[in-house]
Structure formats: C-alpha cells, structure tokens
Amino acid sequence: MIRVLHTSDWHLGASLHDEKRTNEFQRWLDWLRQAIVDHHIDVLLVAGDVFDVANPSIDARKMYYNFLANISKDGQCKNVIITAGNHDSAALLEAPKEILATLQTSVIGQACKSIQDEVISVSIHGDDPDLIVCAVPFLPSRDVCKSLPGETPEAHVNHYRDGVANHYAEVAKYATQLRNKSARHIPIIAMGHLYVAGATVTDTQLQVVGNLNGMSADIFGSSFDYIALGHIHKPQIVDDNPFIRYCGAPIPISFSECQDTKTACIISFDDSNHTPQIETIEIPCFQKMKSIEATSLDEIKEKLAFCIEESSTSGESIWVQVNCKSDKFIPSLSDTIKEMLKDTKVNCLRVTNRALVNAYLRNENNHAEVSLNELTPEDVFNRLLNAMQVGDDKTNAYRLAFKTILEELANQGINP
C-alpha cells in the first residue's frame, strides 16, 4: 500500500488587507504535520504556490524549512515532492535543492533541460520504485513555446497550449518507459500548476485564469493514474474524472473563499488493485472569516451584531469585510462600523461603499475620499479612460488590452 497526500497553493506569507496571517499558516503546517502521521502518508505532494510572492519574508521561509525538517524527523513521510507555481520564484525554491535532498525532499522550480529530471522514481518499501511522479511545475509560455513573428494573440495561445500538451506527452513517455522496466505495475502521478478549462474559480481568481491558459483536460493523455493539480483554490474534480483533481488552497486566500470547505486529497495505491482509492480530508478553519453584503446601514448593523454574538460565544476572533451595495451614499460608514466593533473580537478588514465608488468613477464627486482597497484595477483604469475622454470606438480595445496585461501579471504571481 502506498499513500500519497496531495496539497497545493499554501501561499505562505500572504496577508489579507494588510493583516498578517503568520499564526494561520503555522497552525496549517502543524495540522499537516500531524495529518501525515495520523493518515500514514508515504509521499507528500505540493503542486505549486508554496509562497505567496517571489521574495517571501524571513518568517515564511522559516516556517517552510522548519516544517520540512520536522516531518523528516518524524519519519513517517519518506518523500516530499514540491513544484513551483506562478507565485513562486523557481530560483529561490531550487537554491537549497541539494540540502533538501538529504531530507528526502525533491524540488522542481522550472521546466528542466532534460525531461528526465522532472520524472521522479519513489522507493518506499525497498530499493525498487513503488511510484513514479511526473513533477511538472508551472509552465510559463517562454518555457514551452516561442513567439513567432507576426503571430496573433489567439495563435500564441494555441501555440502555448500545444507546448504544454507536448511537455506532458514527453514526461508521460519517459515515465511509461521506466514503468515498463518493472515486472509489476507501478502507478504514475502527474503534477501540474495550471488552469484546466471548466474548473470553478473564486472571484479573486477570475483575472488570473481568464481565457489565456484554459487547457483542455485531454492535454494530460491517458498514461497517468492520478493528476494532482494546483492553481485553483476551490477543491474539485476536473472534467468529471475523479482521478484529475484540484485539492484547493488550505486556507482562504481572500474573502471570496471563506465559504469553501478546505480539503486535501489522499490517494492510495494497492498492489492488488491498479485503480487508486481517493479520500478527501477536511482541513480545519484556522481563522473565522465572513463576508457581509447589505443594502442599508440597519442591515449591516444587524449582521455585525450576529458576528459579535458568535465571537463572544466561541471566544474566537472573526475577520469580516463589509460590502454596502446601497445606491445611496452612507456617510462615515467605516467610522460607524469601527465604533460598533470596538472592544470586540470582530475585526473589519475592508469596507466597500459602492455608491461612493460609483460616484467617484462617474466624476460626480471629485473630492470623494475613496481608498484603493475599495477599487478594483478595472475601476481605476475606467476612471482613467473617463478622465482622458477616450472615445467609445477605442474604449473596448483598451479594456481588452488591460485585461490581458492583468492576466499576464497574475500568471507571474503579481497582483496589482
């Protein structure tokens, strides 16, 4: 029996509207360490976005390295395989590669010059391979295709998709060759950090996936027994195939994810049955979060009162964001909320007063005090278009170009 734990999108070091989340991440890693022991995990997979930014804080790096050292010391999990996501720096992840190898940890930060280096044979019960993992990291277009002179954006997207499909075909071919050297069936797992078309995304990930990198599930071919995906934060089965899955992010990265049940996937392989058995385990909530939407001040106060009562009963803090969708401007809304939550364990991290934002964007109140937290990048860009009096004939083209730029930035782990 081989038991593999599929995780992804840790985003260590991320903050939420300037609120540090060090405690949450440490509790997640402590829980994961115990889960590895409790569920008798042999192999841990991390399918990209270990860190939230390319140059993570010292605290984030310390948590990461301490975790890897601790699970090596525990002795239960003999193999850890980590691939880079679009938020990660490939160079930073791979820098301690040789040292981490002494902890039975393999790191693939970028597409390898030799495809063989992305295919990892894992031995658990002896010297012979028990599992083959195709550790494919996030693949930026520069790694799988080249822009051609005169190539249209649509042609480049198709070119990129073909490049990703070819990359998976190459690792599958080599992994199959390794498996064929054995007299018994060796399962093959593929890892990936990409958006597969049809997957459900959260509001904050819409600009990340767009249509730019939407891959069809058939790019993976038929050689893999399980495909462990990262990049999409919502846990889900892909293309109605239970063996292609996003495990999701372990903690809500934004308020749009606070209603999601966070999970990790356990994949078990039995010598007597080539079909893997898959179990999802629920990850505890390490910080309560609530998104409040309301159309009046009275409704906001009523919903905040519920949060205060819940926090008082449980003794736990609650982070909230308030989105006021009223067409009428409510003056001093942030101050009113702040006063109401004083001396409670309910912390309002963000207030959106949409009526004020709309007035600002329409240039109806040039002196309106609107913070950037209340505006999306599209809001700011539209304000610029209005201020420059760009004609309707050019507006749509500029908006499409701006959306493409946002997608490219997001795929590089840059969140404007």
383 burial (CB, 10 Å; 0-12 / 13-18 / 19+) is middle
pTM score: 0.86
> 58-74 and 22-38 helices cross at what angle (nearest 10)?
10
Compare 346 and 384 and report the one with higher pLDDT: 346
Cβ atoms of residues 279 and 265 within 8 Å: yes
pLDDT at 415: 54
In tens, the pLDDT along 58-102 reads: 999 999 999 999 999 999 998 999 999 999 999 999 999 999 999
Question: SS3 for 264?
Answer: strand
In tens, the pLDDT along 311-358 reads: 999 999 999 999 988 877 788 888 999 999 999 999 999 988 766 666
Does 267 have pLDDT greater than 80?
Answer: yes
In tens, the pLDDT along 17-57 reads: 989 999 999 999 999 999 999 999 999 999 999 999 999 99
In tens, the pLDDT along 201-249 reads: 866 555 455 444 578 999 999 999 999 999 999 999 999 999 999 999 9
pLDDT at 212: 45
Nearest 5°: phi and psi at 374? -90, -10
In angstroms, the CA 164 to CA 225 distance is 19
DSSP conformational letter for 345: S
Q: What is the mean pLDDT of the chain?
A: 87
